[in-house]
Amino acid sequence: MDLFLQTLLNGLLIGGVIATFSIAFQLTFGVLHVIDFAVGAWVVLGGYLAYYMAAFLGIDGFLVMPMAFVLFGAIGYLMGPMIYNVRNSRTARPELMALALTFGIFTLLRGGMLTVWGFNTHSVPTALSGHSIMIGPVTVPLIRVAAASFAVLIAGGLFFFLFRTRYGLAIRATAENRQNAALMGVNIRRLSANVYGLYAGITAMSGVLMGGIYSVNPEIGLRYTLFAFFVAVLAGLGSLGGALVAALLLGVIEAFVATYGGASYSHLAIFATLFLVLLVSPRGILRRGL
Amino acid sequence: MTAQAPAPGDQPILFVRDVHKHFGGIQAAAGVDLEVGRGEIAGLIGPNGSGKSTLFNLVAGMETPDRGQILFDGHEIGGKKAYTIARLGLARTFQIPALFENMTVSGNLLAAAAEGHWHGAQQRADETLALLHLEPVANNRASDLSGGQQKLLEFGRVIMRQASLILLDEVTAGVHPNIRKIILEAIARLREQGTSFFVIEHDMEMVRNVCDRIIVMDSGRVVTSGAFEDIVQNSEVMQTYLGRPQ
Amino acid sequence: MAQTMKNRWAGLLLLVGILVVLALLPVLVNNYWLRVATGALMWAGLACSWNMLGGYAGYINFGHSAFFGIGAYATAILMGADFAVPFLATIPIGMIVTALFAVVIGAPTLRLRGAYFAIATWAFAEVLMQFATVVDFTGGTGGIGLPPFLNERFFYFAMFAAAVLTYFLTWLLFERSRFGLKVKALRDHEPAAEAMGINTSLVKLQTFVLSAVVASVFGSIFAYWVTFINPKSVFGGDITDQMVVMVLLGGLGSLWGPAIGGVALFFVNRLIWMYYGDTAFYIAILGAAIILVVLFLPNGIAGLFARRSGKSGSVLDTVLGRLLGSRQGGRS
Amino acid sequence: MPKKDVSFSRRTFLGGSALALASGTISMPFVRTARAQAATFKAGVITSLSGENISGGNLTKNGYDLWAEAANEKGGVEVGGERFMVEMFYGDDQSNPATGADAAERLIVQNEVDFLLGPYTSGSTIAVQPICQKYQVPMISGSAESPNVWLAKPEFNFGIIPSVDTTSGQSLGVLAALSNPKAKTIAVIGVNEPFSKETGEGFQRGAKEAGLEVVAYELVPASGDLTPVMSKIAALNPDIVAVGGHEEPLINVIKTSKSLNYRPKALIMHYGVTNPAFAEALGADANGTSGVAVWLPTVPYKDDLFGTAQDYVARAQAKFGHEPDYTEAACSASGLVFADAAKRLGKKPSLTPEDRVALKDAIADTDITTFYGPIKFEKEGDHYHDNIQPVPVVIQIQDGKTVAVGPKEAAAAEFIYPLPSWK
């Protein structure tokens, strides 16, 4: 029973961790209609920023998070219009060209990081790393709780922003239909810059947490991209609430299969689940996808 | 509404009885009854949201009716796949042109004939291009056409189907008078060959000139049908229809 | 008219010229470049197989490596001591196994659209990779070796034959027959294609199976050529990624686009790899190259040579448009 | 495109190759490379310089480069009283066996190397072996620890490091003997990837031989989250946890177990622990972790080129800024094996095909002692052409430093057992 509870908690926290880098990703698809291959690169960049801040200035990972948001938010803001232009160009398959563009960005960033920062694996120290508390028989790792809370906070914040503010309304109108947005007087290019910047900033922040929980090297980005994609599709593309549910589902499946079925089957189970869910419910588990 | 389907031979080309369809809480078709006779051009009018497009989708196989009977040329087609119905000889246009955008204009025509009417397709495509005055743009990408030309091409694809019944969804809406003229000539030509038409149209002038009979829909039901002049004289119907601008 | 005829003859002459050069390549270059050419032919063929579904039918398959891998494993397992099947016999068996998988997977998956289809196929490829990793008959994660056959010319001509057949088949089916018309029609507007009597589910499935089977042939030859495979090396996502990028660079949905993209990317990769090989810098160069092509050659390299008609802009237009950001299409 | 002087500076290499890229692109395929004026021995290095194994790949490159540099400082490799410089050529296998084979073919055909220095990964090594066979070029591998590498009896391939099945198992016997009170139970985690899985299997066999009860044997996917497995193991509470994996999962094992506040009495890992990046990434949390090494900076061996093991360490430290680990050492020793065989063979560069076959035979007869230890290749059996001379040493990280703790005769410090809890 204790192991069962611990497994459940592990699963929920793995899900929370996956959610941290998957939620903002929904924004790019929902609003910009772009599948961003570079999501993993933003995660890794955030991790590196935190690593260097800690190694040279001794700044705690959590304090680096706002820095990561500002820095990579600004970079994303500058890149947003380029991605928007490709996505809305008059080529035969603009959505594919946008995907290829983000794949190119991902490859460029990965190659750049390998060249500049080398190949070693680093770890980001944070105030909560390695600390845990006991609740009854269950060990609760605090950094993962922080990550899961971050995910919930971001999801809630984005939800509030999109559904309770005027600018959020503009974003949703744009997502729905560009003509609507133009009629409302929304500057779509600026909006896409803002959205991509917001997404890149949030994702880089989650990268700080990933560096604290796991470790950072330039080659692990693809793993995050893979999971962000899977969560997005399982959730229904563009669905924020779905992303939380989907991430938790993946986490719980991984934990239970690893604990009770054999860890080597855990990823087989995750991918098979995703595949089957898609066949049964093509727009994600909550059937809310675009 | 328990009328039996008419015997083959003198049966109408399209026979719709008690067809229902709802989307969520919206009843888009609430017991539709209508017929389109052989060689007839039937016009379908009604306010926006009255269920005209849903009816087209039900007949063409894009939607499955909740219940009811749809006979096309004696075949039960309710809930059948769109391509099956198309192969039986029913063709349709879409309200928003649904072209094969990355194919050439002649490619669009040939693709329309690819299933079931392939023999002599190239020659018929050339004839259709000539009929619709699309020869100069035959090798252009469909997406590069003007709006009016897109309507023409959409109509051209339907011609290539050599269909016995053609559903036209606002095929002349918003097009230049010259293009409308080309379309009307083509309709007349096909009619001579015995093709039946079922037409959604908002333009009363067009309805008057082209349609043999008018069917009026409102709130998912057929309200009335008859000759254009009769319908116009029935002020209640016109109130329903014209009283709600589109 | 005379102009088109002339162009057609020039094109044919060019094609024959290329084929002659390729056929004579083994006596023209050394073994290393022959090996590179073998790889380039393989990638040109794989890119073409991906383009069948991705370019002609508009379904983006992110798990195409699954079929490459099935072909490779079929050959590796069948040529092993347990079965000792001769190499050429493993190819059709691999094709049959691949076709079965493709039908079973394709029928339900092809109901999905856009990104959902793309990621469902990715998940499928990951399932196969994980499966090959955890079971024993594939050699597990440690991989599986094949009896080495050290004749580089055999593999060159095997890839050459497979690639030529692939392109001929593509030309015949997608450019010269009504099957191609149906496929392109459903790509551009599926409901309209249905309304034209086209059984889109069937046509999609046929295309999916065809593209899968072609990939499996290359997988079979690849396994025997490289003599060692493991789950990552044949099921890995980077294999599909490369095919996708090659097709996009070359020109999506065109016959020669994948060949141009495949050969160009593979050669550029190998050249950068040769000269910058002791650093990871070539990865960054590759990424920059992809970005530049997307920004400035959105119709792929093949688009540079395509006949421009109607209102489609010139390359210069596109370049200027991208730089000045003035092109805002209305398509969503 | 031969480089006349042997310089490993990245900048000159980049600059030179940019020129070469401009001038050589067109002519390259059809023109054979012009020969350098002074005869040199050409060494081809195949390893992972990008992709997931980039970390280990660079370690092998470090080791190989260090030998070439040392040899060239003395004027090169001595043959018949004359010295010949060593020229290095690199081929990145992109962590992918097929590219490894491409790289081998390129180095042999294009660069006309006289011998190869083998890849980091076993997969690449297996894919390259047939190419070596085809061109009859010997390859000395300073890494590639999977037993699969030697099963096919590769005629032209030689391994410096004992394959992992011989070392990981033995280390548990050492560990069990050191533990006090004596350890009884063990859990084994293997990352399900080449090498790591075989390490896990080696641990499992070794545990049985050492009389330890294996309470759990878990294979985890390469990118899996480790909390479920660690929780499960924590519940079983074995005395020892043994892990087979590369650096990144090893770091994650420690971080995960700490975040779950679980610490076994001993934690042993194979490979990666001795890579300085491991201790650097984990800081104080790395302390107490044990590992298996076939070579340590403290071993009492020496040779003419590098001097003592400690001299070697000093040289590596100066060049790379960190203590070398056993992979780097074994890679440097690979060069010594070549130099010794070439000297015995007595053929000047460049080697003819017949010379290379003779070189292969000469390497097979190697029987030398280097700073790395004794080197002698098996002539038959499952470890054909592998050097299984080195005895695995169990090390433990103490105060951020790697120290030998067993077996007794090699121990430089007390084995800390049981490990204190995290708090």
pLDDT confidence of residue D1: 36
Residue D75, Cβ neighbours under 10 Å: how many?
11
Contact of C135 with chain D, judged by CB distance below 8 Å, is answered with no
Facing residue for C194 by CB, picked from B83, B100, B116: B83
pLDDT (0 to 100) of residue D375: 95
Residue D98: which of B45, C236, C312 has the closest Cα? C236
Q: What pTM did the predictor assign?
A: 0.88
pLDDT single digits (tens) D228-243: 999 999 999 999 999 9
As a whole number of angstroms, the distance between CA D362 and CA D339 comes to 11
Neighbours of chain D (3+ CB pairs under 8 A): A, C
**For the segment B47-72, what is each residue's pLDDT rounded down to a tens digit?**
888 889 899 999 999 999 999 999 99
Nearest CB to D49: which of C33, C142, C279?
C279
Between C133, C134, C230, which is nearest D97 by CB?
A: C230
Does D422 contact A130 at a Cβ distance shorter than 8 Å? Answer: yes
Is residue A283, in this structure, part of any structural domain at all? no
Cα separation, D350 vs D364, in Å, equals 20
| A214, A40 contact by CB (below 8 A) | no
pLDDT digits (tens, 9 = 90+) for D364-399: 999 999 999 999 999 999 999 999 888 888 999 999
- Please state the rounded mean pLDDT for residues C34-39: 94
Looking at the DSSP bridge assignments, the partners of residue B36 are B14
pLDDT tens, position by position, D93-125:
888 888 999 999 999 998 999 999 999 988 899
Question: Can you tell me the distance from the alpha carbon of A285 to that of A277, in angstroms, rounded to the nearest whole number?
Answer: 7
Are the beta carbons of C231 and A93 closer than 8 angstroms? Answer: no
Give the residue on D whose Cα is nearest the Cα of C27.
D30
Do D and B touch, 3+ Cβ pairs within 8 Å? The answer is no
Chain A CB within 8 Å of residue C285 CB: yes
Contacts of C188 in chain B (CB under 8 A): 99-103, 142
Select from B115, B119, B124 the residue whose CB has the most chain C CBs within 10 Å, as the one to mutate to test that interface. B115
Cis preceding linkage at D407, omega within 30:
yes
Residues on chain C touching B140 (C-beta within 8 angstroms): 309-310
Q: What is the rounded distance in angstroms from the CA atom of residue A214 to the CA atom of residue D217?
A: 22
Q: Of all helices (H) and strands (E), which one includes residue D266?
A: strand D266-270
Low-confidence winner among B169-173, C276-280, D306-310, D312-316 (lowest mean pLDDT)? C276-280
Question: What is the structure's pLDDT at C279?
Answer: 67
For residue A106, the surrounding DSSP H or E stretch is helix A94-117
If one counts every other C-beta atom within 10 angstroms of the C-beta of residue C177, the result is 14
Residues whose CB falls within 8 Å of the CB of residue B190, separated by 6 or more in sequence, listed in order: B159, B166, B197
Inter-chain contact C142–D146, Cβ cutoff 8 Å?
yes
What pLDDT band is residue A119 in, cutting at 50, 70 and 90? confident
Q: In chain D, which residues have their Cβ closer than 8 Å to the Cβ of A214?
A: 252, 255
Q: Does some domain include residue A8?
A: no
Rounded-to-integer distance, Cα A50 and Cα A207, Å: 9
Could you give the CA distance from residue D257 to residue D8 in angstroms, rounded to a whole number? 41
Q: Does C326 touch chain A (CB under 8 A)?
A: no
From C124, C294, C330, residue closest to A104, measured CB to CB: C294
Residues of A in contact with D231 (CB under 8 A): 3, 6-7, 10, 139, 259
Q: How far is A62 from chain C (nearest CA, A)?
A: 30
Nearest Cα residue in chain D from A253: D228
| Helices of type H across D305-415 | 309-320, 326-345, 353-364
Q: Tell me, yes or no, if D391 comes closer than 8 A to chain A by beta carbon.
A: no
Q: Is C150 on the interface with D (CB under 8 A)?
A: yes
**What DSSP character marks residue C172?**
I
Other CB atoms within a 10 A radius of the CB of residue A142 amount to 16
Asked if A15 reaches chain D (Cβ–Cβ under 8 Å), the answer is no
Contacts of C143 (CB under 8 A, 6+ apart): C228, C229, C230, C231, C233, D97, D123, D126, D148, D194
- Class at the top of the CATH hierarchy for domain C30-324: mainly alpha
Tell me the pLDDT band of C202, cut-offs 50, 70 and 90. Answer: very high
Nearest to D192 among C141, C233, C280 (CB): C141
Q: pLDDT at position B153, please?
A: 94
Give the model confidence (pLDDT) of A240-249 as tens digits: 888 899 999 9
Confidence of residue C315 (pLDDT cuts 50, 70, 90): very low
From the list C145, C222, C277, which residue is nearest D91 (CB)?
C277
Whether A252 is covered by a domain: the verdict is no
CB contact under 8 A, A88 and C112: no
Neighbours of B177 (CB within 10 A): 9
State the pLDDT at residue C322. 40
Q: What is the pLDDT of residue A170?
A: 84
Check if A281 contacts D (Cβ < 8 Å). Answer: no
pLDDT value of position C308: 45
For the stretch D56-96, pLDDT in tens is 888 999 999 999 999 999 999 999 889 999 999 999 888 88
Percentage with pLDDT > 70 across chain B: 91
Which residues of chain D does C36 touch, with a Cβ-Cβ cutoff of 8 Å?
102
D377: left (phi over 0), alpha (psi -120 to 50) or beta: beta
pLDDT at D64: 96
Which of D3, D26, D94, D220 to mutate against chain C (most C CBs within 10 Å)? D94
At D36, the pLDDT band (50, 70, 90 cuts) reads very low
Under a CB-based contact definition with an 8 Å cutoff, are residues D132 and D114 in contact?
no
What distance in Å separates the CA atoms of residue D368 and residue D365, rounded to the nearest whole number? 10
The predicted model gives C285-293 an average pLDDT of 85
How is residue D285 written in tokens? 């949390």
Q: Three-state DSSP class for D210?
A: coil
Contact D52 A219 (CB under 8 A): yes
CB contact under 8 A, A262 and D283: no
Contact B92 C198 (CB under 8 A): no
Please tell me which residue, C316 or C277, carries the higher pLDDT value: C277
Nearest to B158 by CA among B117, B103, B200: B117
**pLDDT tens-digit readout, B121-177:** 999 999 999 999 999 999 998 988 988 899 999 999 999 999 999 999 988 888 888
Average pLDDT, chain A: 88
CA distance C105 to A276: 11
Assess whether pLDDT exceeds 60 at residue D17. no
- Chain D nearest-CA residue for C134: D192
Whether C268 has a pLDDT exceeding 90, the answer reads no
User: For helices C200-226 and C152-170, what crossing angle results, to 10°?
Assistant: 170
Residues counted in chain A: 290
Q: Which tens digits make up the pLDDT trace of C44-84?
A: 999 999 999 999 998 989 899 999 999 999 999 999 988 99
**Looking at the predicted structure, is the pLDDT value of residue D208 above 60?**
yes
Position A132 in a domain: yes
Q: Are strands D290-293 and D266-270 parallel, antiparallel or unpaired?
A: parallel
d(CA A78, CA A81): 7
pLDDT at A288: 65
Chain C residues close to A289, C-beta within 8 Å: 116
Task: Give the per-residue pLDDT at D125.
Answer: 94
Domains by residue range for chain D, with CATH: 35-162+299-376 (3.40.50.2300), 166-293+392-410 (3.40.50.2300)
D3 within 8 A of D87, measured Cβ to Cβ: yes
Chain D segment 107-146 residues within 8 A of A by beta carbon are none
Whether A141 and D259 lie within 8 Å, measured CB to CB: yes
Question: Does residue D317 register a pLDDT over 90?
Answer: yes
The burial of B1, by beta-carbon neighbours within 10 Å (0-12 exposed, 13-18 middle, 19 or more buried), is given as exposed
Say which of B118, B142, B161 has its CB closest to residue C178: B118
Cross-chain Cβ contact C185/B103 below 8 Å: yes
Chain C, residues 59-98, CB within 8 A of chain A, namely: 60
Segment D120-146, tens digit of pLDDT? 988 899 999 999 999 999 999 999 888
* Percentage of chain B exceeding pLDDT 90: 54
Instruction: Assign residue C139 a region (left: φ > 0; alpha: ψ between -120 and 50; beta: otherwise).
Output: left
**Count of other CB atoms within 10 angstroms of residue C114:** 15
What domains can be seen in chain B, in order of their start residue?
Answer: 38-64+79-242 (3.40.50.300)
- φ/ψ of residue D112, rounded to 5: 50, 50
Q: How far apart are the first and last CA of chain D?
A: 59
The CA distance from D132 to D136, in Å, is: 5
State CA C7 to chain mean position distance. 27
Chain B interface, Cβ < 8 Å to C: 60-62, 81-83, 86-87, 91-92, 94, 98-103, 107-108, 110-112, 114-116, 118, 121, 137, 139-142, 144, 157, 161
Domain limits for position A128:
20-221
Q: Categorize the per-residue pLDDT at A9 as very low, low, confident or very high, splitting at 50, 70 and 90.
A: very high
CA–CA separation, C90 and D301 (whole Å):
52
- What DSSP character marks residue A28? I
pLDDT value for D35:
45
Contacts of A263 in chain D (CB under 8 A): 218-221, 224, 228-229
Contact criterion met (CB below 8 Å) for B62 and C191 = yes
Q: Find out whether D236 and D187 touch, Cβ atoms under 8 Å.
A: yes
Partner residue opposite C310 with nearest CB, options B102, B115, B141 = B141
Lowest mean pLDDT among A117-121, A177-181, D130-134: A177-181
CB contact under 8 A, C192 and B99: yes
Report the mean per-residue pLDDT for chain C: 86
**Residue range D178-186: average pLDDT?**
91
**Smallest Cα distance from C286 to chain A, Å:** 7
The number of distinct structural domains making up chain A is 1
Closest to C56 (Cα-Cα) out of C148, C146, C175: C175
Q: What percent of chain C has pLDDT over 90?
A: 55
pLDDT over 70 at D161, yes or no = yes
B236 pLDDT tier (thresholds 50, 70, 90): low
Chain D residues whose beta carbon lies within 8 Å of the beta carbon of residue A10: 227-228, 231
Encode burial over B86-121: b for 16+ CB neighbours within 10 A, e otherwise. Answer: bbbbbbbbbeebbbbbbbbbbbbbbbbbbbbbeeeb
For residue D108, give the nearest of D78, D138, D86 by alpha carbon. D138
Average pLDDT over residues B198-226: 88
The ranges assigned to domains in chain C are 30-324
